[in-house]
Structure 1
Amino acid sequence: MNVRLILLPLAAALGLAMAAPAAADDDKVPYWASIDAEIANLRVGPGDSYKIDWVYRRPHLPVKVLRREGPWRLIQDPDGAKGWMRDLLLSRQRAAMVKDGGLIAMHAEARGGSPTLWRVEPGVVGLLGECKDGWCPFDTDGHKGFVREDQVWGTGAP
C-alpha cells in the first residue's frame, strides 16, 4: 500500500484538530476590534436589508464586538452607539481613541517621568500595542510613544 495515501488523510485530520481551538477563540464575545475600511455602515439589524443608522469614515476607530450573528457583528463605538456591521469591515487590529478631558501626553517610554514627545487631543485615534503596568504603546499616523491606559478608550477587558 502506498504510504502517501495513508499519511495524507491523517495529516488533514490532525490539521483540523489543531485548528479547532483557534476557531473557538473567534467565537468568544465580547472582544475589541477596529474599523478596517474608509467607509463602514452601521445598520439597525444584522443584514443588508436593514436601514443604515450611521456611516463611519474613520479607519482604525476602536469598537467593542458584543455579539455575532453569521457574518454580522453587533458593535459598540466609543460614544456608546450600538449597531450591526459586517465582519469584513472590521479588524482584530487593536486601536484606541483618546478620551474626552483635554490634551494627554504621549511619552517616550512607558513611565510618567519620561520625556513628553507630543500632546494628543481628545478624539485622536491610533493603533494600540500590548498594555503593561498601566501604559500602552500608541501609534497615531507614525507618531509613536506611550500613553496611560486610563486615558484612552479601547483598553482593558472588553
Structure 2
Amino acid sequence: MKSGIAALMALVLSLPMAAGAQERGPVTNLPLPRFVSMKASEGNVRRGPSLTHRIDWVFKRRDMPLEITAEHGHWRRVRDRDGAGGWVHYSLLSGVRTAIVEQDMLDILAKPEPGAMVAAQLESGVIARLEECEPDWCEISAAGYDGWAPKSALWGVAADEVFE
C-alpha cells in the first residue's frame, strides 16, 4: 500500500502545474517568481541565505527592479535583468514596483495606444516606477514624466502580469 501511495505522489509531483497555477514562496506564500525593488541604496548579495555566506557583490542602485526566485527565512534569492543575483536580506527589498527601460529613446505615450501623443522619451537603463499594467502597456513615471510604455520595452514586469 505504501509503495502505491509513494508512486502516486511521485507521479503527481512530476506533472506540470495546471495553467494559471503558480509556485508560492514557503515563507511569505507570495508567488514565485515575483518582482520587487531595492529599498536601500546599497545591498550585499551573498552566495547563500545567511550572514556567514560570502558577499559576491553589492547592488548599488536604489529602486532597481529585482526578481525574487526563492525564499529562505529572512533571505530572498534575487536576480537582476542581466541574470546576476544571489541572496539578499528581505529588509533591503521593497514591494514598490519599478522597471528598467530596455529600449533606447523609448516613447512614453499619453494614452496606452499606438500613435498616441508622445509625452516624453526615456533612455535605455532609466528606472521608472510602475503605476499600472494592462495586458500590453504599463503606465510609468520617471524623471517627472508620466505616460504609457509598451510592456515589452520594460524589464521588471511579467509579460502576463496585470495590476492597478
Range of TM-score over shorter length:
0.7 to 0.9
In structure 1, runs of 5+ residues without a counterpart are 1-22
Superposition TM-score, scaled by structure 1 size: 0.78
Partner in structure 2 of residue 109 of structure 1: 111
Written as runs of structure 1 = structure 2, the 5 A alignment for 1:1-158 is 26-28=28-30, 29-99=32-102, 101-156=103-158
Secondary structure of the corresponding residue to residue 132 of structure 2: coil
Larger radius of gyration: 1
Could you tell me which amino acid in structure 1 is paired with residue 38 of structure 2?
I
The secondary structure found in structure 1 opposite 2:36 is strand
Aligned-partner Cα distance in 1 for 2:153–2:27: 28
Give the distance between the partners of 1:130 and 1:117, measured in 2 at CA.
17
Look up the equivalent residue of 1:65 and give its one-letter code: I
Shift >4 Å, 4+ stretches: none
Query: 1:25 Cα shift?
Result: 9.2
Mind listing any 5+ residue stretches in structure 2 that lack a counterpart? 1-24
> What amino acid maps onto 1:71 in structure 2?
H
Percent identity, please: 31
Q: TM-score, normalised by structure 2?
A: 0.75
Higher helix share: 1
In the alignment, the residues of structure 2 paired with residue 133 and residue 25 of structure 1 have an alpha-carbon distance, to the nearest angstrom, of 29
What value does the CA root-mean-square deviation take over the aligned residues? 2.0
Change over 3 Å in CA distance of 1:54–1:24 after alignment to 2: closer
Figure out how many residues of one structure are paired with residues of the other and give that number: 135
